[in-house]
Amino acid sequence: MPGRRRESPLKNPSRAYVALGLEGSANKLGAGVIKHAVDGSTEVLSNVRHTYITPPGEGFLPRDTAQHHREWALTVIKDAVAKANITMHDLDCICYTKGPGMGAPLQSVALVARTLSLLYEKPLVGVNHCVGHIEMGRQVTGAQNPVVLYVSGGNTQVIAYSRQCYRIFGETLDIAVGNCLDRFARVINLSNDPSPGYNIEQEAKKGKRLVLLPYTTKGMDVSLSGILTSIEAYTSDRRYRAQGEPDEESEDVIRPADLCFSLQETVFSMLVEITERAMAHIGSREVLIVGGVGCNERLQEMMGIMAQERGGSVFATDERFCIDNGIMIAQAGLLSYRMGYQDTSCKEHLFRTDEVHVAWRP
């Protein structure tokens, strides 16, 4: 029957299931333990994370990031297991990020996951990083059938679910929004602690002037590389005053805060536009924002205004769940495991969001 709600293929378990999730696709190393109870509820038992932070003006290289993950893996995992008040023998499966992400860090975490799997004779479950974000966002917020805006350092996608697949309606044609923000933070020498994107957000709150930047939506897609080039060019303008430089009170002066403000307003407006188009296309009144940039309060505010005008609502999580973490990998991995999926290879796989069979949803 048209409009009839399909029954979920994922049944309540006959016993409790517990999974360990390991995340390390970029500069965050995370380990989390999750529990699926008999009554169908989900409980976060632990969620531990350690971040590789580089000096101001520098990014993080794959080799150095992988070394960080190798050095901190045992500490982070032991902490997660201890906080969950379990032992490794209590686990039903070990889940890890299989991709997409940076090759060397992915390999380091995959090696740890495979080693633990062999040592404790536990099934191994590879998880798509993007799907991990979506499933944790759905679990935490209770969003039913939202349009998903996935924004992070490596990904920018507008996604909607249909027939056991997260389908991509629009995405970046070049660099991700988080990468755009991070790279500009390096240009103006902002700190990487706790993250460059967070410091861009704080700086933008002090901005008073909106400078002209390209507005490059192309259908359902966006292009961000040209915007980054344009905003960088303003730092060579004679009117620009870097942080700490004396400046006269003049309407012509351009400050770092003005550029951060302008960059956020322009890029976030583009993201709101393509998200609204996807909402109109599928008839949804819900928006779920996931990924590290999803923590940005200005993005949430702008998306909320749009959703309210459409009679809808916005769902987002705080930094515990929107920034890369192990618990989202545990959640998506345990859903897969309960549907009968197990890994046969630990080789990292750079697979897209729409290549995952979402077997646990109707």
Report the binding-site residues for a divalent metal cation: 129, 133, 150, 324
Phi-psi region of 124 (alpha: psi -120 to 50; beta: other; left: phi over 0): beta
Report the binding-site residues: 129, 133, 150-154, 182, 197, 201, 296, 324
Report the binding-site residues for substrate: 150-154, 182, 197, 201, 296
Contacts of residue 141, Cβ cutoff 8 Å, sequence gap at least 6 = 288, 315, 316, 317
* Pairwise CA distance, residues 67 & 357, whole Å: 32
CB atoms under 10 Å from CB of 64, counted, come to 15
Q: Is the peptide bond before 194 cis (omega within 30 degrees of 0)?
A: yes
What letter does residue 11 receive in the DSSP assignment? P
What letter does residue 222 receive in the DSSP assignment? E
Contacts of residue 197, Cβ cutoff 8 Å, sequence gap at least 6 = 153, 178, 181, 182, 185, 292, 293, 295, 296
Q: Which of 70, 84, 131, 129 is nearest to 358 (CA)?
A: 131
User: How far is C-alpha 346 from the chain's CA centre?
Assistant: 22
